Amino acid sequence: QVQLVQSGAEVKKPGASVKVSCKASGYTLTSYGISWVRQAPGQGLEWMGWISTFNANTHYAQNLQGRVSMTTDTSTSTAFMELRSLRSDDTAVYYCARIAKWGEEFFDLWGRGTLVTVSS
């Protein structure tokens, strides 16, 4: 079955880091790019950036530059998103999504989301 399976919910303190995983199954990870999208409570969807799973090139949203890193481990078909220096407004559900067509960043497969709660 083609799917993206994300890691479980996390609770972090302000200033800490979180690393969310996204394992691809049913297809070859390196055949498609991965984007990360988040949704804070009561807010809309916010694109965070993408990673080329083929050559590890990345492109991050400007407001997250310096705090976010996207990586992949092709041996386990897993993509990762790490967010550092967490703040309370980073509390959100984080989704990984498969880029359907390189050069056209719409998403044909999504994970179910990982809730990250930042609280002291």
For residues 34 and 96, the answer to whether their CB atoms sit within 8 Å is: yes
In the block, residue with structure tokens 């800490």: 16
Residues 72-101 that bind other proteins (CB under 8 A): 95, 97, 100
- What does the DSSP 8-state code read for residue 42? T
Nearer to other proteins, 16 or 100 (CB): 100
* Contacting residue, 111, 114, 116, 118, with other proteins by CB under 8 A: 111
Site track for other proteins across 54-73, x = CB under 8 A: -----x-xx-----------
Task: Report the distance separating Cα 117 and Cα 120, nearest Å.
Answer: 10
* 18 is a site residue for other proteins (CB under 8 A): no
Task: Report the distance separating Cα 16 and Cα 47, nearest Å.
Answer: 21
Backbone dihedral angles phi then psi of residue 113, each to the nearest 5 degrees: 100, 150
Binding stretches for other proteins (CB under 8 A): 4, 35, 37, 44-47, 59, 61-62, 95, 97, 100, 104-113
